[in-house]
Amino acid sequence: MPFRPPAGWGKRAAQHDLHTLRTALRMAAALDPLGTPPKTSTPWYAAVARAGQAWGLHLNDTIGDCTIADSANAVMIATANAGRIVVPSDDEVRRVYSEISGWDGVLGSPTDIGCYELAVDAYLRVKGLAGVRLAAYGSLDPKNLDHVRWAIQLFGGVRFGFRLPQSAEEQFQAGEPMTVVPGSTIVGGHDMRGIGYAPGWVLLLTWGGYCWASEGFIATFADEAHAELFEGWSVPGIDTATLARDLALVNDEMAS
């Protein structure tokens, strides 16, 4: 399959521990009072097209860097909406992937093993990508679709981790929505960004293109989700300074 890197998939096993629980509780405390999210989301991703930029694969057709390719797309969305788009170069993507995963830079190397999503978020908060950093990040329950919708609406996107079935890759290549296909084999872990939603569907960004996924697909195959607040991103209706402070306290405490 042309979209699967030769080394295999790039999202390592989801981490569910005290750290993710505590950040998820803090995210829930911020999102629960908001009630029912809008029926459809604001198309924050459209700012990238208005800036005249294509998404690109960010090397995810050659190495297992889907977590960093997702990060590059997130940087593009955040900065395009801030008025001046930043497009991470392949060299920047390659360097960050190597620093987080331990990849030695050789195509086909056994060190090309992918990244944990939480390790990527921790790195982005401290070092950033292409000069753009996270102010905060927190975990979500991917099965709580109201929280997922609010996070897309308020933060411009959600980092999803999937146990991806073979059918999803085939559906993407055929230009079809990702839906549950009974009996399809799980082929590996993959990181995709949720960038929009409509009733019954979530819009995903991966492999340089868009794909709608049914809410059933999300509930069945997403094994982790994370909200990311980029520096300078304004979130109406939420005290972002307090949210960032509280999440930072948890993340710093759990990292020590």
DSSP string, 59-83: TTTTSS-HHHHHHHHHHHHHHHHTT
Distance of alpha carbon 152 from alpha carbon 44, whole angstroms = 9
pLDDT in tens, 103-149: 999 998 999 999 999 999 999 999 999 999 999 899 999 999 999 99
Positions in the chain short of pLDDT 70: 1-8, 253-256
Q: Are 153 and 227 in contact (CB under 8 A)?
A: no
Distance of alpha carbon 217 from alpha carbon 224, whole angstroms = 13
Q: Checking DSSP bridges between strand 158-165 and strand 134-140, what pairing results, if any?
A: unpaired
Tokens of residue 66, six digits? 């889907």
Which pLDDT does position 255 carry in this prediction? 52
Residue that has been written with the tokens 């399809």 in this structure? 184
Distance of alpha carbon 67 from alpha carbon 183, whole angstroms = 26
pLDDT in tens, 206-224: 999 999 999 999 999 999 9
Fold held by 18-255: Cathepsin B; Chain A (3.90.70)
Domain-wise residue ranges, the chain: 18-255
Distance of alpha carbon 2 from alpha carbon 21, whole angstroms = 36
Model-wide pTM > 0.85: yes
Which pLDDT does position 251 carry in this prediction? 72
3-state secondary structure at position 55: coil
Exposed, middle or buried: residue 142 (CB in 10 Å: 0-12, 13-18, 19+)?
A: buried
Which pLDDT does position 249 carry in this prediction? 75
Which pLDDT does position 1 carry in this prediction? 41
Distance of alpha carbon 169 from alpha carbon 70, whole angstroms = 17
Name the DSSP class of 218.
H
Q: Checking DSSP bridges between strand 222-230 and strand 134-140, what pairing results, if any?
A: antiparallel
Which pLDDT does position 104 carry in this prediction? 96
Which pLDDT does position 23 carry in this prediction? 87
Distance of alpha carbon 77 from alpha carbon 74, whole angstroms = 5
Name the DSSP class of 38.
P
Which pLDDT does position 234 carry in this prediction? 80
Which pLDDT does position 8 carry in this prediction? 63
